[in-house]
Amino acid sequence: MTRNPDRLVLFTDAVVAIAVTLLILPLVEVVTEVAKAQSEANNGQAADPFAVIQENQPAILSFLLSFVVIGRFWLVHHGVFEHVKAYNGMLVRLNMLWLLCIVVLPFPTEIIGQFTSDTFSAAFYSGTLVVLAATQTALTLLVHGHKELEADDNPVTDREIVGSIAFLGCAVAAFLLALVPGVRLYGLLALIPSGWIAKLVSSQRERRTPSVA
């Protein structure tokens, strides 16, 4: 029986879309609550919409952060499944774990947006990214070189593997930095060099690989 991965991909895309939607819902609720509170405080006068944005900057920034994070993971996941010709039980389980992390992400997003940034909230958010990155890497490595899963005419590239491992390493560094007092979410800046590291390592590997005449 052919196990076409299209249905799994469609299910994954739907769950990711729901998770992205969940990110914005708390901000929508905040607008209604703040407008009502300001109207009551001002004896029915119109509320100031700019004040809503100004008073909820942390929540807005956390929404934008997680939107970018989910978007980045979805793009990488999409790239991995372009190499998949069929699925097995292990691939499905890893994909479900990946989806679990995606669905959980709005929770730490809401925490860092509504509460004062501290070591716990930063570590919680960064730790979620570590598990997500580890699952992403496991998916990539599972497909790579697997006779039943990997498309014969479109194999996983070494650059994709290096990129996934580099991002995982940077995510671990971000988590460890988040545990340092005073660093908090600034530790997420450690994620920025992941692309440069992957490009550098891949370039060195290509130089060491002898060309075939």
Helix (H) or strand (E) holding 203: helix 194-208
Q: What is the pLDDT of residues 104-163, one digit of tens each?
A: 999 999 998 888 668 899 999 999 999 999 999 999 999 999 999 999 999 999 899 999
The CA-atom distances, in angstroms, between 59 and each of 31, 56, 62 are 12, 5, 5
Beta carbons of 167 and 160 less than 8 angstroms apart: no
Average pLDDT taken over every residue of the chain: 88
Closest CA to 87 of 151, 138, 153: 151
Give the residue extent of every domain in the chain: 6-208
pLDDT tops 90 at residue 166: yes
Q: What is the pLDDT of residues 69-79, one digit of tens each?
A: 999 999 999 99
CB 39: neighbour CB atoms within 10 A?
13
Q: Where is average pLDDT lowest: 66-75, 159-168, 196-205?
A: 196-205
Q: What is the pLDDT of residues 7-43, one digit of tens each?
A: 999 999 999 999 999 999 988 888 777 777 766 776 6
